[in-house]
Chain A
Amino acid sequence: MNTLLINQSSRLHGLGVTLLLAACVLTSSLLSMEATAAVQKTPLLANGKPDFSGIWQTTSAADYDLEPHSNRKDAPPGAGIVEGNVIPYLPQALEQKKKNFEARATNDPKLKGYTLGVPRGIYYPEPFQIFQRPSDLSIVFQFGHSVRTVHTDGSIHPREDRVEDWWLGDSRGHWEGNTLVVDAKFFNDKTWLDSAGNFHSDQYHVVEYWKFLDPNTIGYKATIEDPQVYSRPWNISVILYRHREKNFQLIEDYRFTLDYDQFYPPKPNK
């Protein structure tokens, strides 16, 4: 009887292990299927193009300094996001960059609340929201609540006689497979690339590459050129993460109004 019991128990035990194993296999295969499905489920617009709609932000320290840097009083350390580590300045421009760096506590345009520019708004440590339609993407930056529109309707840059120097340039995008390629030019020379004084002239030209790494992560790369400032084109890359916190939203940050905020609204006389 004991033997029987033991046998039965052992058989039951064996069955249990088998079931458990089966369950594990099933679960893990389900999990991996889910993972595969997630990887494949890039958000798409109705026209089949990747849909970057959402609120995004980098975790990198790029805005403190695009180049590798040790910690300093006004910046955490960072490995930089420049391919090859060094921005290839022309000699005279490098002198200007050094001057900018020394004066960064007062001259960084972001401190005045000025529009951050391209691509600084992308890796500035505040969220931005993409609103996307087949014809365009509009990027609303929390900082300054400025709007940058990337046209994806097949249109090209405006004719030269219509061109002006814009804070955010003129952006025209097209699709290369699942990558959104954006050509941005016609900038003014008033924005910096970071808080370390990296700068450009109005001959500045940026080509961006936006691609999903997974449904909640964008790999962002940009090629930057400016014959007046750099000796050759150079590249940067950052990763952008989707904000998924419950009820997350942009909160307008019209920084440039802070100097005169005190005057409004009218208050009763005391």
Chain B
Amino acid sequence: MKNRMSHQKLGWSALMLGVLSLSSASSVAAEEKQAKPAESKKTTPARAAGGGIEQEKTVPNIESGKWTGPRLADGQPDVSGHWSNTIANHNNFTDPQGGIPNDTGTPNQQQRPLGPRGERAPSRVSDPADGQVPFQPWAIEKVKEFRSGFTNPTKGELVEPLARCAPAGIPKSLYWHGYEIAQFPGYVVFYFNSGTRIIHLDGKPHLPENIKLWNGDSRGHWEGNTLVVDVTNQNGKALFGRTGEFISENGHIQEKYIFQKGGTRFNYVAVLTDPTVYTRPFTVTVPARKWTAKDKTNGWHFEVEPSNYPANYTGKRGGLDNFERICTENNNGFGLGAAEKPQQ
């Protein structure tokens, strides 16, 4: 019986390495080895020092406008392929390259010495200007509670749900490993590392309100270079990161995926509204870049392998295998306090 680590597990391990010893040189080296960034492109914004998952520290400006690139037979701009965020993973929502706050109490007690805030990527909250989620007072308390218990959770709600293999949800899926966008007549489909989103383009009404989903219910349409998506029916259970920010089942998310000319980048710009959690709507921005067969595979952003073809094969050989996006197999006591059975 073969029982090698799956890709998913490799992903987790790479991440755990990063999490468990953010400051140690060996972990940086290991991360570099597993997740070597691809060649930088001319349009690439300032590079991040961290390498690995953290590739860049600025967000390019991409305007909504006409789409001049290739289209699919059904008229959709062709943006299909492999994509990943350029900034950081979900360790920290508003200081994406700042690591997990209050990271004490577990083996990963060492904190990465952080320089001035301005040397790291900006907050994913692009509005309001202070980069903070405009939480209502009760919600701030909940976030603080989550952070203080994160490394040693004593209650079920203090375990980050992604650590239990729950779908990463919105918006976290956009900065949790690379993912594939596939397009079909009437659909844009996101195959995320943890969860799948089907965006319906046919204008059908949303599901009845009382149906609540990890990834919500998505209706989209194209406006030039921009995929506009309305998300309702969320269960509010997926946190935004290891820093505990959240939305509730009353939340509404209006997303724009604004694709750059040339189709190698997009900015995800989403307005989150929830009168039961926030004091006002706010905007989340996540930059992403495309990965293609020309790039080296990468243990976090681009977890694919070139397909295998028979020796006598004469057709096109561009296929990429993304073997399996299943996390349930890890649902057995993953670190940071998650257990197969929730703690009572």
Asked if A249 contacts B204 (CB within 8 A), the reply is yes
Q: Which residues 159-183 in A have Cβ within 8 Å of B in the complex?
A: 159, 162-168, 170
For the complex, is B100 an interface residue (Cβ under 8 Å from A)? no
Residues in chain B near residue A154, CB distance under 8 A: 309-310, 313, 315
| Nearest-CB residue, chain A, relative to B325 | A147
Check B237 against A163 for contact (C-beta < 8 Å): no
CB neighbours (8 Å) of B157 from chain A are: 263-264, 266
Contact with B along A109-133 (1 / 0, CB 8 A): 0001111000000000000010111
A254 to B326, Cβ gap below 8 A? no
Interface majority SS (helix, strand, loop, mixed), chain B:
loop
- Closest Cβ neighbor of B158 among chain A residues: A263
CB pair B321 A167 closer than 8 Å: no
We find that the number of chain B residues with CB closer than 8 angstroms to chain A is 71
Flag if B248 contacts A133 (CB, 8 Å): no
Most buried by B among A153, A163, A202, A263: A263
**Closest approach, in angstroms, between the C-beta of A185 and any C-beta of chain B?**
12
Residues of B58-114 contacting chain A, CB below 8 A = 73
Q: Which of B208-264 contact A (CB under 8 A)?
A: 211, 213-215, 235-239, 244, 246-249
Asked if A266 and B146 sit within 8 Å, CB to CB, the answer is: yes
Residues of A within 8 A of B246 (CB): 264-266
Residues of chain B in range 180-221 having any CB-CB distance to chain A below 8 Å: 182, 184-185, 187, 189, 191, 195-196, 198, 200, 204-205, 207, 211, 213-215
User: A106 CB to closest chain B CB, in angstroms?
Assistant: 14
Contact of A151 among B145, B237, B307, B315 (CB under 8 A): B307
Q: Which residue of B lies closest to A269 (CB)?
A: B138
CB pair A263 B315 closer than 8 Å? no
Q: Which chain B residue has the least Cβ–Cβ distance from A256?
A: B328
* In the complex, A268 has a CB within 8 A of chain B: yes
Asked if B308 and A158 make an inter-chain contact with CB atoms under 8 angstroms apart, the answer reads yes
Q: Does A219 contact B (CB under 8 A)?
A: no
- CB distance B187 to A262 under 8 Å? no
Contacts of B235 in A (CB 8 A): 261, 264-265
Q: What is the chain A residue whose CB lies nearest that of B146?
A: A266
- Given A46-B73, A156-B308, A157-B308, verify A163-B2 contact (CB < 8 Å): yes
Inter-chain contacts of B313 with A (CB < 8 A)? 154
Closest to B189 in A: A131
Q: Which residues of B contact A151 (CB under 8 A)?
A: 307, 319, 321
Q: Which residues of A contact B214 (CB under 8 A)?
A: 252, 254, 257
Contact A138 B189 (CB under 8 A): yes
**Complex contact A158–B159 (CB within 8 A):** no
Cross-interface CB contact of B236 among A112, A114, A265, cutoff 8 Å? A265
A250 near B182: Cβ-Cβ < 8 Å: no
- Among B138, B165, B236, B324, max chain A CB count under 10 A is at B324
Q: Which residues of B contact A167 (CB under 8 A)?
A: 324, 326, 328-329
Q: How far is the CA of A91 from the CA of B185 in the complex (A)?
A: 50
Residues of chain A within 8 A (CB-CB) of B324 are 166-168
| Contact of A259 with B by CB under 8 A | yes
Contact of A252 among B185, B215, B305 (CB under 8 A): B215
Q: Is residue A146 contacting chain B, with contact meaning CB distance below 8 A?
A: yes
CA A45 – CA B161 in complex, angstroms? Answer: 40
Q: Is A247 an interface residue (CB 8 A)?
A: yes
**A188 contacts which chain B residues (CB < 8 A)?**
329
The contact of B239 among A46, A202, A264, by CB within 8 Å, is A264
Inter-subunit contact A254/B73 (CB<8 Å) = no
Question: Are B166 and A254 interface neighbours, CB within 8 A?
Answer: yes
- Identify which of B143, B145, B239, B331 gathers the most chain A CB atoms within 10 Å of its CB: B331
- Residues of A with C-beta under 8 A to B141: 269
A140 interfacial contact with B, CB 8 Å: yes
Once bound together, how far apart are the Cα atoms of A133 and B207, in whole Å? 27
Within 8 A of B (CB), among A227-257: 247, 249-252, 254, 256-257
Q: A153-B319, A157-B308, A266-B146 are in contact. Are A251 and B213 (CB under 8 A)?
A: yes
A151-B321, A155-B307, A165-B1 known; A247 vs B205 contact (CB < 8 Å): yes
B333 within 8 A of A: no
B6 contacts A by Cβ under 8 Å: yes
Residues from chain A with a CB closer than 8 A to the CB of B249 are 265
Within 8 Å of chain A (Cβ to Cβ): is B4?
A: yes
Listed from nearest, the 10 A-B pairs whose CB atoms lie closest are A264-B237, A155-B307, A265-B236, A266-B142, A263-B156, A263-B157, A260-B342, A247-B204, A268-B138, A155-B319
List 19 additional contacts besides A252-B196, A264-B236; criterion CB under 8 Å: A131-B189, A138-B189, A147-B325, A149-B322, A151-B307, A156-B308, A158-B323, A164-B323, A167-B329, A168-B326, A170-B323, A201-B1, A247-B205, A250-B198, A251-B211, A260-B156, A261-B237, A264-B161, A264-B239
22 contacts between A and B (CB under 8 A): A114-B328, A129-B198, A131-B184, A138-B182, A140-B189, A140-B198, A146-B325, A151-B321, A162-B305, A163-B2, A164-B323, A165-B1, A165-B3, A249-B200, A249-B204, A252-B215, A256-B165, A260-B156, A262-B156, A264-B236, A265-B237, A266-B246
List B residues at the A interface (Cβ < 8 Å): 1-7, 73, 138-139, 141-143, 145-146, 155-157, 159, 161, 164-167, 182, 184-185, 187, 189, 191, 195-196, 198, 200, 204-205, 207, 211, 213-215, 235-239, 244, 246-249, 305, 307-310, 313, 315-316, 319, 321-326, 328-329, 331, 341-342
